[in-house]
Amino acid sequence: MDFTKRRNVNRGYMKLDVWNRAIDLFKLTNDLIGNTNHIDIRLRSQILGAVQSVSANIAEGYCRRSLKEYIQFLHIALGSSGEAFTRMIGLKHSGQLSNDLFEKFDILHYETENKLISLVKSLQKKRASENWNDQLADIQTWRGRE
């Protein structure tokens, strides 16, 4: 999905399937619980914040252009993913979320979480092989693509 026509090296995370799935997970979660009055507004806010934190941390880690920080932010994204999942389990367990709605969330959450785990493993391999460029591409390379 294209969110913007403008491209540069710092927006490369938008090409990542895991980032796009995390955005989809936020939309789904918002659709499921964002406007429900039977769920406490504070709890809804915490769940939506945790889910949105997944894509935000993928982006922030990518944009820092340091492999060590990128992996660190991906681990933070995994933590936020776990937090969101736990809170949704709580909603299901307390009868505030139906089994069917939870299943929709669980399917997409599981897919996103596994893609995130795979990305972490892939970057850890790159770190071990020292095959990573911590430098942003020369701005001249990106002229004409703006």
Q: Which are the contacts of 146, defined by CB distance < 8 A and separation ≥ 6?
A: 6, 7, 8
Query: Residues 61-75, buried b or exposed e (16+ Cβ, 10 A)?
Result: bbbeeebeebbebbe
Q: How far is 74 from 70, CA to CA, in rounded Å?
A: 6
CATH code: domain 14-128 is: 1.20.1440.60
Q: Which two tokens stand for residue 72?
A: 């660190």
pLDDT tens for the chain, 146 residues long, are 677 888 888 888 999 999 999 999 999 999 999 988 899 999 999 999 999 999 999 999 999 988 999 999 999 999 999 999 999 999 999 999 999 999 999 999 999 999 999 999 999 988 888 665 655 444 334 434 43
Place of tokens 């809170």: 87
State residue 94 phi and psi, 5-degree precision.
-90, 0
